[in-house]
């Protein structure tokens, strides 16, 4: 039986990845500082442990897993990574985790490691216009990410590549672009745009008002979590290293996203634009490289993933109301 280790298995993407690997027949160990927030883990073995501790990382990697997925990070949406208050924690915690995992992989002669980097590595100066952002993989240098979260991801990418070069650990690096879906943060201060939008709209009375940070003309693309996992496992098992974008190229403005979710909810709401942390003005996933190397592209349009996510968040809102 093939074995996999998922670091960050209590988080949004990690908990979905555990389910997918189980469906594929893997024996899975999950590790995270917290348990999954919404459903019991499907991992065969789940360690609740702090990966900033090198001794713990050595214990977690007590066997030669066939696949190691490193998704653990101190992260969140714009309200967490762009406000400045969490920068030292983000950099310290995530670098410690990545360093410890790589060292433990080296000791255990692990062959293949997946690392989840981010679109936040791309330079701010290429993303100033909402309609023409540049995110081709080779545009990452000269580097100028707009957040310390992005700088940490870029440093850690380099660390994974250096360990690959010097210690033979084959790294597979993806730059995720706004992954969304059910069972992710939706009201804990770490939620991202799609979840926050679904929550605001689910909580509003028809004819009421919701608040959006900025003028809403800023653009992004969003990829449903199942699509992300298909690309992630394909990359991990391929002979190709990356770094590569894993995202959708269906770019929408935040105002358009609001309209789509209102349509799903069947509500007509007024949007009030307020100041808030924003990030770059425009971002879209450039999917040419992944299409060429892995033959992968998203299979469904944004609206399908939004429908599933809205349904789940609406249920959470109703649960909270009936059980405050």
Smaller CB distance to ligand NAD: residue 136 or 268?
A: 136
- Beta carbons within 8 Å of 205's beta carbon, 6+ residues apart: none
Residue of 134, 176, 125 lying closest to 153 (CA atoms):
176
Q: Which residue, 48 or 268, is less far from ligand NAD as judged by CB?
A: 48
Marked catalytic residue, from 69, 149, 163, 310? 149
Phi, psi at 105, each rounded to 5°: -65, -40
Q: Decide if 255 contacts 271 (C-beta within 8 A).
A: yes
> C-beta of 179: minimal distance to ligand NAD in Å?
4
Closest CA to 226 of 180, 257, 185, 191: 180
Q: Are 20 and 43 in contact (CB under 8 A)?
A: no
| Of 32 and 227, CB closest to ligand NAD | 32
Closest approach, Cβ 106 to ligand NAD, in A, equals 19
Whole-number minimum distance, CB 31 to ligand NAD, in Å?
Answer: 6
Nearest to 192 by CA among 62, 313, 76: 76
What residue has token string 């701010």? 124
Q: List residues near ligand NAD by CB under 6 A.
A: 8, 10-14, 32-34, 50-52, 71-75, 93, 97, 116, 118, 176, 178-179, 192
Taking only Cα atoms into account, the Rg of the chain, rounded to an integer number of angstroms, comes to 19
Is-contact 143 104, C-beta < 8 A? no
Complex with ligand NAD: residue 21 or 33, whichever CB lies closer: 33
CB of 34 to ligand NAD, least distance (A): 4
Residue number, 74 or 157, with CB nearest to ligand NAD: 74
Which one, 93 or 127, has the nearer CB to ligand NAD? 93
Q: Give min distance, CB of 12 to ligand NAD, in A.
A: 4
Pairing of strands 209-213, 179-180: unpaired
Closest CA to 268 of 179, 216, 208, 200: 208
Cα distances (Å, whole numbers) of residue 83 to 88, 167, 189, 222, 281? 12, 37, 12, 22, 16
Q: How far is the CB of 268 from ligand NAD (least distance, A)?
A: 29
> Regarding beta strands 252-253 and 219-220, do their DSSP bridges make them parallel or antiparallel, or are they unpaired?
antiparallel
- CA–CA gap between residue 180 and residue 163 (Å, rounded): 30
Nearest residue by C-beta to ligand NAD? 11
Instruction: Mark whether 176 is an active-site residue.
Output: no
Cβ proximity of 255 and 193 under 8 Å:
no
* Catalytic residue IDs: 149
């Amino acid at each position: 039986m093939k074995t996999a280790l998922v670091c960050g298995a209590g988080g949004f993407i990690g908990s979905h990845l555990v389910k997918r690997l189980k469906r594929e027949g893997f024996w899975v160990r999950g590790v995270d500082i917290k348990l999954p927030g919404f459903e019991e883990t499907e991992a065969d073995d789940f360690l609740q442990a702090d990966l900033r501790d090198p001794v713990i990382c050595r214990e977690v990697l007590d066997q030669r897993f066939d696949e190691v997925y490193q998704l653990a990070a101190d992260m969140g949406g714009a309200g967490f990574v762009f406000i400045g208050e969490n920068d030292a924690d983000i950099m310290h915690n995530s670098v410690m985790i990545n360093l410890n995992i790589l060292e433990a992989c080296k000791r255990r002669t692990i062959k293949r490691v997946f690392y989840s980097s981010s679109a936040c590595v791309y330079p701010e100066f290429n993303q100033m216009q909402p309609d023409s952002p540049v995110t081709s993989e080779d545009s990452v240098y000269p580097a100028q990410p707009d957040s310390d979260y992005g700088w940490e991801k870029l440093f850690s990418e380099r660390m994974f590549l250096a360990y690959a070069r010097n210690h033979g650990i084959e790294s597979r690096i993806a730059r995720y672009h706004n992954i969304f879906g059910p069972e992710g943060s939706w009201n804990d201060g770490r939620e991202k745009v799609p979840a926050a939008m679904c929550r605001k709209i689910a909580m509003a009375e028809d004819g009421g008002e919701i608040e959006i940070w900025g003028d809403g003309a800023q653009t992004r693309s969003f990829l449903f979590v199942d699509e992300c996992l298909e690309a992630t496992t394909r990359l991990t098992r391929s002979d190709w290293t990356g770094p590569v974008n894993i995202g959708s190229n269906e770019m929408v403005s935040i105002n358009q996203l609001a309209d789509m979710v209102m349509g799903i909810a069947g509500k007509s709401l007024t949007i009030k634009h307020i100041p808030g942390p924003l990030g770059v003005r425009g971002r879209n996933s450039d999917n040419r490289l992944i299409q060429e190397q892995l033959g992968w592209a998203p299979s469904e349009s944004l609206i399908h993933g939004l429908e599933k996510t809205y349904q789940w968040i609406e249920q959470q809102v109703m649960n909270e109301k009936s059980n405050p």
